[in-house]
Chain A
Amino acid sequence: MELLVTIAKTVLYVAAVFGVTLLHVAYATYFERKVIGRMQGRIGPVEVGFRGLLQPFADMVKSLFKEDIIPAAADRTLFFLAPVIVVASVMTSLAVIPFFNNGAIANLNVGVLFIFAMASLAVYGIIVAGWSSNSKYSFFGSIRSAAQVISYEIAMGISLAGVFLMAGSVNLNDIVLAQREQPLGMFAVLQIVGFVVFVISAFAETNRTPFDLPEAETELVAGYLTEYSGFRYALFFLAEYISMYIMAALIALCYLGGWALPGFVTRALPFLEQVPGIIWFLIKVYAFMFFYFWVRATLPRYRFDQLMAIGWKILIPVSVVNIVITAFVKRWLM
């Protein structure tokens, strides 16, 4: 009986998190179009609703009513399964993100590892999508995408080890708490090298410009998404935006102090303790989302060999050196 109550509570909490996240994702698309529009001297969506605020819902309804074409040559089961794998694995990684103190659905002590595991599972979805479509563009797009994601996952994982060294934990909640007495209340100051490596890898992991080669429309049409249409396409799109939020949340939690305020701020202005932590968390997450869009409006795309060279020849050595230096400093100077 007690177990049932726990399960019911968890189900409600998970449903609430999903609902709120989907709403945020819907408006991230609107935010992106507005930001990029402004940066390019346009005004972005304005027609649907007040200042275009209903645009995300119009898009959703449109994609629900679009005909969904399954190519005759495709493997139907896998074609159906691919978006489900991608969306389910991305949404599951939401479970370990603490939105405020102890606000995670599951406060695992291997939180970050779990997110990496789920990100790797999403790669299967991409491969399955490319394979089952039975199209050349999809196939090459998916192989490229998989190579890119696994390459940058290494740099990302090793750069984060610096944070674990500083915090002495892999639990996201503990990492946030460990940052309160750091300079500026964030690891981004002392772990600046790891931070930069992580940010670059985050762009590659989420297939964003300048690393959006899997979707390089000038060479591969739409990469592994070429044969997808209608709501299946929308699901891939949704998964991409959720994973952008997850990367932004990881950066906010591991490098920017998460939902906590720096120790010196709360001592100087104690009333700020009353503000719910989720507000600070969201400010940091949206600052990073804005950065995603800013970069997209600014930088051109890399070539695939350049992309692999950056990952393997620069980011991985730099992050390993960062770990060694951090370890030496922590052992003998702190």
Chain B
Amino acid sequence: MPGSYIPSEYLPVFITLVLGTCFAVGALVLGELLRPRRPYAEKLSIYESGNIPVGEPRTRFDVRFYVIGMLFVVFDVEAVFLYPWAVAFGNIGLLGFWSMIFFLAIILVGYLYDWKKGALE
């Protein structure tokens, strides 16, 4: 019945998630009770090969990492489209088959463009 669907298959997944989180938090709390704690300023400073840290650590980083991030979204969507197509392969006939080949061809054009523009460097 629509509207009253309970995803019961996912209940075990939820339980696993809860227990996994409990394990991680529990281990940290247990460690908290057991371990010594003797901080002083030098110990608490961040590591920079023994020197006094210079400048702001959250510096600018290369813009190419953003490009990689954007390309990831495009190609991951491609992979996600491939999955249902692969599963339903026997039932979708020639039209379904060629649609995906056509889709891959479109992606290929974009991919070659990215490569030529140097986005993959």
Residues of A within 8 A of B (CB): 6-7, 10-11, 13-15, 18, 63-74, 80, 83-84, 87-92, 94-96, 105-108, 113-114, 131, 133-140, 143, 147, 150-151, 153-154, 157-158, 161-162, 164-165, 168-170, 221, 226-227, 230-232, 235, 305, 308-309, 312-313, 316-317, 320, 323-324, 327, 330-331
Contact = CB atoms under 8 A, between A and B. Distances in A.
B82 to A, nearest CB: 4
A157 B73 CA distance: 13
Interface in B91-114: 97, 100-101, 104, 107-108, 111
A18 B20 CA distance: 8
B15 A14 contact: yes
23 contacts: A14-B16, A63-B31, A67-B36, A72-B41, A92-B13, A92-B17, A105-B12, A106-B12, A133-B46, A137-B48, A139-B59, A143-B61, A147-B65, A147-B68, A153-B72, A158-B75, A161-B83, A164-B82, A168-B90, A170-B87, A231-B35, A308-B120, A312-B71
A230 B76 CA distance: 36
B58 interface: yes
Interface residues of B, number: 64
B104 A84 contact: no
A13 B11 CA distance: 13
A291 to B, nearest CB: 25
A108 B9 contact: yes
A158 B79 contact: yes
Nearest to A164: B86
Interface string B35-47: 1111101011111
B110 to A, nearest CB: 12
Given A312-B120, A313-B120, A231 B28 contact: yes
B97 to A, nearest CB: 6
B10 A106 contact: yes
A69 B12 contact: no
A92 B97 CA distance: 35
Interface of A is mostly: helix
Contacts of A137: 47-48
Contacts of A131: 58
Nearest to A73: B46
Contacts of B49: 221
Contact of A165 (B59, B69, B86): B86
User: Which of A105, A106, A131 has the most B CB atoms < 10 Å from its CB?
Assistant: A106
Contacts of A150: 68-69, 72, 76
Contacts of B79: 154, 157-158, 161
A135 B46 CA distance: 6
A14 B19 contact: yes
Given A135-B57, A164-B83, A69 B9 contact: no
B76 A153 contact: yes
